[in-house]
A = this chain, B = another copy of it.
Amino acid sequence: MSESEKPKGHTLSKDKVLTNGGNNVSSNPSDEMTEKFDLATVYVSDAQYNRNIFFDTSPQAVRLYLLYNHWFMQTLVYAFIIVNLALALFEDPAVVPLPIWATSTIEIICLSAFSVRMVHYAKVIPKDKFWKDPKNICIIVVVTLSFIDLTIYGALKSTGYFAIRWSRVLRPLLLVNVTEGRQLRRAFRSIRNALPQISYVFLLFMFSVLVFSLVALKLFGKRGLLTIDGSPYFTDYLDIVFDLYVLVTTANTCYAYASVIFVFFTIFFILYIIINTYTFMSFFLAVVYSNYKKHLKEEVRQLVKARRFKMCRAFSLLHEARGEGGEPVVTQTKWNHLVKLVKPNINIAHRELLWSVLDDQNKGHIGKFAFVQLADLLSIQVITVKSQPHPIQICFPSMYNSPVSRFIRYVVHQRMFVYVYDLIILVNAVFIGLDEENPVVSNAEWGFLALYMLEIILKLYATEPRAFFARHHFWNWFDTIIIVSALFGTIINSALKHSGGYTSRQILDIIFILRVLRLIRLVDSIKRFRAIINILIKIGPTILTFGQLIVVVYYIFAMVGMELFKGKVQFFEPNSTSPDQEYCGNPLLKGTTFAKLNYCKNNFNNVVSSFIVLLELTVVNQCGFTAVTHISARIFFVLFHIVVVIIIINIFVAFILEAFLVEYTIDKSDLQTSLEKKIEELELNVQQDGVDTGLVDAMESNDNELGPSEAGKQKPSLMFKIASRRSRTVDGLLQRMFETDIRPEDFVEEEEPENINFSNPVFDSV
């Protein structure tokens, strides 16, 4: 580092950041340099979004790779997957029957799209890597099998033979193996990792159920117990095993054991419930939780390692040797250019801020260690708060600064203002509950709407509109959208009513839902609740991953279930006169509780019904349908219970447990703090008026608190604030979970040559 560099570094002071200076990027690098920058950009953004694809580094491949990762291509792939999955709605047994040629054509289009995507992928990555990756092979196999099945099915159907579309079971695998399904694959991996442990506990649990069944058979079998249906109890061993298994799911529909009570029986059941229902079920959770924790740590460690490695690659493309010792460094010029390429819409002040965090000694260049942090820094959302004069102040300065206007602005920024509106919402909630036919109630609605509109207008008057509608002010957007929509809805509805006396049910429903959503605002005013809501919001994206997981499992079970059980249970309209109505069209169900309670809609006759039955099985364990086709239905039920309830639900609970405990203990990541420290150092932070943040930092929702500090004192015209959005992505949350553990050793390892194979098959494939 030469001494002459120092002054340049010194320009990175507060003044420079504020005056939008430092835009000293060399504008025309050579072609070779452009390619290098392109490649570095790809590495950095791969690191930022945790993509782990080992692509060719030739300029064409890089361009193809950029195209491959384009959001439009990714959306298209998901659209095709959804269409492909949705075909089940139209295929036999269909909700909306379509001719075979139509569904087949759509499926062929989808499969072709997947094939094209595969070819594209093959062009991007080296051939040997392509064929080593199990997920590519899986996609190719699924697509091929689907084509074969389609051909066979078409041929058999056209010649009038019986045929099964067995390849439909494979469709969800595409969702798992597509390049973008990282989260889903990770979820499946954690299931796979927990499996050995779960299976030991499960075997012991089954042993316990078998022993209890044996005892039940021997002790109660000969006492002539009868069920409500009049059939004998406890006489068949397998029946008992199944009944006791069902008891574990805490369902009582199948097993009204309480109707026969004697001491032995009661003791038996209490023991059974304590051991199997509570202890073993907790064991499952404990095993899943401990495995989840263990393997997640390892996965995140690998993720961070891969990310560092990619950053090192980018560094090695851009670095140059410098002064004493020849330590490789990246200059600010190059760095600025890179950041511009990675994040085109970043503003200069933000970029300068990041640089000043990395180059904390104002050297004008940064080493490898600092460079590597770029990906982490970029994923921290920094909000630039520009302090601009209010438009009204510009147009009518005297009016805006008049005592009345000042008083209004003062009032709006008061805590009391929020409380008054909370009270209004509360009153509104009561009015919502009242009968809307009453003219007082329906007229009051206009009053509420007016009050809410007034609130928004007042806030807009008191706060600069661009600041009010800044991207991170979630609740401002929320309020405005809801109120404006409700206003339009109400006006349209009233217009319709006045013109023709006609009221659209749909519009009313939508207006009503908008009104109810408004109530949520109330919760956010209470600090304690806000903390919990914040956790809920942060868990949100992960719930989506679990949603995909559930869809994959449900789809497979629905496909199998439809082939096995379609038509076994039929639903008759309540006013039907068919004699079959009494037992859902299946003589086996005659006299069962299932038929008595008229659960005939719980069937596998189409994909929607199937999903609903599976949902019920998950939540309330409606196992009545197992009476239909004895043994296969029971196996189906038990398998489903094991997969969904014992494994997936427990993993979900484990995730929430861990997320909650993390929120409870860790507050902010180290890096976020270093960035914040810099902001504070430069006195550019937005002050918060003593909001203590409870469980989690309530930064996202402190728009109410923003005002007073603005009104209170003279501040720089540009300020920064860190949105805690970073942890909103699943990866971010996971990384936060284990950040303290993974920091030290990663920097030791990253220089080692073994890290070259970062597209580790264990890591990026199912």
Whether A543 touches B599, Cβ cut-off 8 Å, given contacts A200-B529, A204-B529, A516-B211, is no
Identical copies in the complex: 2
Residues of B within 8 A of A520 (CB): 211
Cβ contacts under 8 Å, A283 to chain B: 532, 535, 656, 660
Whether A619 lies near B237 (C-beta < 8 A) is: no
CB-CB nearest in chain B for A508: B218
B653 near A282 with CB under 8 A, answer yes
**A270 and B615: CB pair below 8 A?**
yes
Select from chain B the residue with minimum beta-carbon distance to A263.
Answer: B608
Mark interface residues in A246-267 (1 if CB within 8 Å of B CB, else 0): 0100111100101101001010
Q: Is A513 an interface residue (CB 8 A)?
A: yes
- When distances are taken between beta carbons in the complex, the residues of chain B under 8 Å from A237 are 433
Asked if B214 and A432 make an inter-chain contact with CB atoms under 8 angstroms apart, the answer reads yes
Spot the interface stretch: A336-344, A490-498, A590-598. A590-598
Tell me whether A258 and B529 are in contact in the complex, defined as CB-CB below 8 angstroms, given that A536-B279, A653-B282, A664-B290 are known contacts: no
- Interchain CB contact under 8 A, A252 and B253: yes
Within 8 A of B (CB), among A519-572: 519-520, 523, 528-529, 532-533, 535-536, 539, 543
Q: Does A207 contact B (CB under 8 A)?
A: yes
State which residues 303-322 of A face B: CB under 8 Å.
none
CB contacts (< 8 Å) of A266 on chain B: these are 612
Contact B261 A601 (CB under 8 A): yes
What B residues does A269 contact at CB under 8 A? 615
Q: Given A433-B214, A656-B286, are A612 and B261 also a contact pair (CB < 8 Å)?
A: yes
Chain B residues in 8 Å Cβ range of A250: 250, 619-621
Mask, A497-517, CB within 8 Å of B = 1, is 000000000000100110010
Give Cα distance in the complex from A543 to B520, angstroms: 41
Q: A214-B433, A519-B211 are in contact. Are A612 and B258 (CB under 8 A)?
A: yes
Whole-angstrom distance from the CB of A279 to the nearest CB of chain B? 7
A interface residue numbers (CB < 8 A to B): 200-201, 203-204, 207, 211, 214-215, 217-219, 228, 237, 247, 250-253, 256, 258-259, 261, 264, 266, 269-270, 273-274, 277-279, 282-283, 285-287, 289-290, 429, 432-433, 436, 509, 512-513, 516, 519-520, 523, 528-529, 532-533, 535-536, 539, 543, 593, 596-599, 601-602, 612, 615-616, 619-622, 649, 652-653, 656-657, 660-661, 664
Besides A211-B520, A251-B620, A286-B661, 18 new A-B residue pairs in contact (Cβ under 8 A), listed by A number: A204-B532, A207-B529, A211-B516, A214-B429, A215-B513, A217-B433, A218-B432, A228-B598, A250-B619, A251-B252, A252-B620, A252-B621, A253-B253, A274-B543, A282-B660, A283-B660, A287-B660, A593-B597
